[in-house]
Structure 1
């Protein structure tokens, strides 16, 4: 029986995970995987894609975005007015379903548009475990992508109680059980302790890592350290995904550095780091300035630490965060409408419209500080591209962001449209670095896949998932990355020259599936086998839903 082979012939490959940087090679695909060339020279592929003169990369991996779940749905409702132009809407065809765009696209539009950019994997970054069914329902409704979600535990009452009572084994067992029952991929800390403080008073929050969390004898420092230690002991594929305290507040860089220092020696990932890199004082917003340099210096010296940026891009968008006090703060500062989508005993949420303007000093500083992060972190394997979609801007802005990183002249042209104080309060104008195509392939593909522990993603070696994007070179790099020539997902051509060719479902990635494809019914045995944890001794049973477990008998 002849093999069903696809050959991608003569493309210029950028595959950093396998040390390939702009080499002309053929790729062979069979049954959704990259395979070795056939041993018989007479064997012919079923289809050949001529990639001569084109750039070939692995499918893109967005490790931090907000695309599914209760806060995203709240955003779609709140921003019913934000649909984009009629020309931007996704129309129903023989292959696709209709959908809306705007800053919070519908599930179908999200999948189609990610695929249209050459992305094949995206991770929802903040899911409340009690509402995991909702998150997974929307992920299942998002086509063309492999996807997963991070479970919020930074203000979880059971987590804080276990820390307060000095029971790390119980904490470890609970986190393992919670990930399994919720089908989560990683643990997420958002303003640890601060969201709980906000629930006790409208102005509540924590100012530093050693503040007491109301109602619990714990501090943010204890939550950060002990949950991160538990994740390291569990050897989770992705370490704890951390949204630091005091997001967006002038002077917050000290808290961020304190967080980094408190995690020294542990694998950890700090997310949307741009929002946590501000100098100045919180008493005077106008004092804000960049403090990227000392934070990037710490990252450069600590290879166990990785970051994604949360780049601000100019234009209209929607802020949505599990950081409840931040959502309330933005509402008070901007006067814009606001909605809170709270989850009792677990997390908070705030959703509000937002417009970033290049003539606004604060917004322009945020834009510049994000670019500083890409340019000051020496090792591109430690920094991943993100706009914290939609918080800093839409994922559809990635091509523009790539141009800013690869073209210093263009970057300086945009900087010249910003208030002059941006040059005085950042070092962006002095940075001459320009990213190469190989480095772009790292921060958008190989690096995020490695940070996530997805060995079969972000690379084009034999055995990897056949997620491939083929681009046509163009002097305007934004144009090059806006419209790939061909996008392949799991061996199937999804998009070709701007037209959808197929709409694969994609799979949901979870911590259990990421290890050995263990069936969900065997989760207690799975955790006992992998982690030497008998979860039943703590009252964690194989419930159908992730719920608060019973307290163990004393």
Structure 2
């Protein structure tokens, strides 16, 4: 037994109803234990946290840090890499580059430096899973997982069209096992397939998807039902149709209603909360109050925000048509990818400017979500890294949530019309440290079903962030005093003290073993015949048979 005691810290552990209490924490073999009742027991090591703020390690439930499109984005922005900060090699650490899309090593070190110990990549095509795992292996310190893209998957759409819910459920379970993924992700359900086949999009939930005779609504309900039947720890993770378009709040509301009480997580909700006419940019406005009212009254729903901050970044998304739209709007370079039979992607550099009415409204709309969702357990902090901003912006967002005067100072410098088109100026709510601990740690862990993360109770992983209190809230959260992972001090005052490898978190839902043969037979019937003149097709079928189920 090797006992580690953290003594006298001011503890914020919302899951265990501890709100700023001075307590001792005891750790054994990387997990929290009950404080010993025998006063003669002496810890092997003690860290004095007197006067310091103690929270669980941070959990980022929605970011883009690995996989094919992230790797393309790194290579696509050499002009940014030349100017970005560098992470220099030390006896403990590898070198890396920053910018809006940091390299693998830099990603792990910088997340840890902010007090985050867990992060989930939000959009991995199953065919890209091996690539994502390789990059995870190269990303130090963090525990991490990913969601697999299924909203434009040919097999998924066919089973929904053929009304085969059991086959769909078995396929999703098999896919999660084969890829070692964590949950199912829908991105512009059906719309990406329309883009790839015709150059169009699915703008309404009842638009037919060419060649498949299904609709986005059927994809949403079918996958949500299957995920519920499988008992996944995190329900279906939804990027709604019409992201970024004026008037898209109605699509978002229809998506929420289509779930009919099924559990779901609506991601980067800021980008889905816009009023106005798509053909008249001058009508662009916030519709957060109406959507937040719906979320507040429907406990089956959780959200993360996708906060926009004013800076240069890189938009990367599994939403191919959105990538093209941003390219046309900004005039900047563009990458479009196609993962056969599964997904697409679009990558575009972007600069969010405080002098832009649209960008300033996006910034305000994100903050509205944090302040209008009554229950902080239902909203998680995110920037949709790097889409709205880098994860490095989290301390600044925390400061904005805790200080209404700071928000108002920004509102005073952005275009005056912003105040008229949203409710932010009227919102006086200020987050407490306990609520910050909820939205950055406890809530995302709970939403993900990670019982061992996001809290400091017995049995949990001993992931801890210790801060020095400061009137400058942003500075306080930018530079933790200590970051501890599994009971080992990995960061001290911004310096890496120990470089460790994190774990990949994944699920293994059960499925009918006969389903594998059924899936293979289906592909042979539907695709071998169609492409019978292409010899490579036989290789494709043999590769499918070789995909592991464990």
Scaled by the length of structure 1, what TM-score is found? 0.93
- What's 1:258 paired with? 254
Residue by residue over 1:30-69, the C-alpha shift from the partner in whole angstroms, topping out at 9 and shown as x without a partner, is: 1110112233312222221111111000000000000000
For 2:420 and 2:318, locate their aligned partners in 1 and report how far apart those are by CA, in whole Å: 33
Cα distance in 1 for residues equivalent to 2:393 and 2:290? 28
**Paired residue total:** 529
d(CA) in 1 for partners of 2:260 and 2:479?
41
Query: Which of these residues, 329, 334, 347, is aligned with residue 333 of structure 1?
Result: 329
Note if 1:37 corresponds to 2:35: yes
For 1:192, the equivalent position in structure 2 comes to 189
Which of 110, 114, 126 pairs up with 1:129? Answer: 126
* Residue of structure 2 equivalent to 1:117: 114
Q: Distance in 2 between matches of 1:125 and 1:546?
A: 30
CA deviations on 1:193-238 (whole Å, 9 max, x unpaired) are: 0001111233x00120000001111000000001000000111000
Q: Give the one of 284, 287, 291 matched to 2:283.
A: 287
Residue 364, structure 1, aligned to residue 360, structure 2: yes
Q: Could you say if the C-alpha distance between residues 221 and 435 of structure 1 is closer, same or farther in structure 2, counting changes exceeding 3 Å?
A: same
**CA spacing shift, 1:376–1:545, aligned 2, 3 Å:** farther
- Name the structure 2 match of 1:500: 496
For the Cα contact (< 8 Å) 1:74–1:341, is it kept in 2? no
Q: 1:420-499 counterparts in 2 under 5 A?
A: 420-499=416-495
One of 68, 86, 89 as aligned partner of 1:70? 68
Asked if structure 2 preserves the Cα contact closer than 8 Å seen for 1:268 and 1:305, the reply is yes
1:548 deviates by 5.9
Structure 1 residue 72: deviation in Å?
A: 0.2
| TM-score, reference length from structure 2 | 0.94
SS at match of 1:310: coil
**RMSD across aligned C-alpha pairs, in angstroms?**
1.7
Residue number in structure 1 paired with 2:524: none
Quickly say closer, same or farther: Cα 1:428–1:259, change in 2 above 3 A: same
Matched residue SS, 2:350:
strand
Deviation at 1:537, TM superposition (A): 5.2
Equivalent-residue separation in structure 1 for 2:196 and 2:493 (angstroms): 50
| Cα displacement (A) at 1:135 | 0.7
Q: 2:21 aligns with which of 5, 23, 27?
A: 23
Give the whole-Å Cα distance in 2 for the aligned partners of 1:534 and 1:412: 60
- Structure 1 pair 145/540, CA: closer, same or farther in 2 (3 Å)? farther
Match of 1:146 in 2: 143
1:218 maps to which of 214, 219, 227: 214
Gaps of 5+ in 1: 513-525
Q: In structure 2, how many angstroms separate the alpha carbons of the residues matched to 1:373 and 1:223?
A: 26
Match of 1:416, SS? helix
Q: Select which of 364, 369, 374 maps to 1:373.
A: 369
- The answer (yes or no) to whether the contact 2:174–2:516 under 8 Å persists in 1 is no
The aligned residue for residue 265 of structure 2 is 269
The one-character-per-residue Cα deviations of 1:305-341 (angstroms, maximum 9, x if unpaired) are 0000000011000000000000000001100001112
- Cα distance, 1:104–1:271 mapped onto 2, change above 3 Å: same
- Is residue 240 of structure 1 aligned with residue 236 of structure 2? yes
SS in 2 for 1:189: strand
CA contact (8 A) 2:171 2:519 kept: no
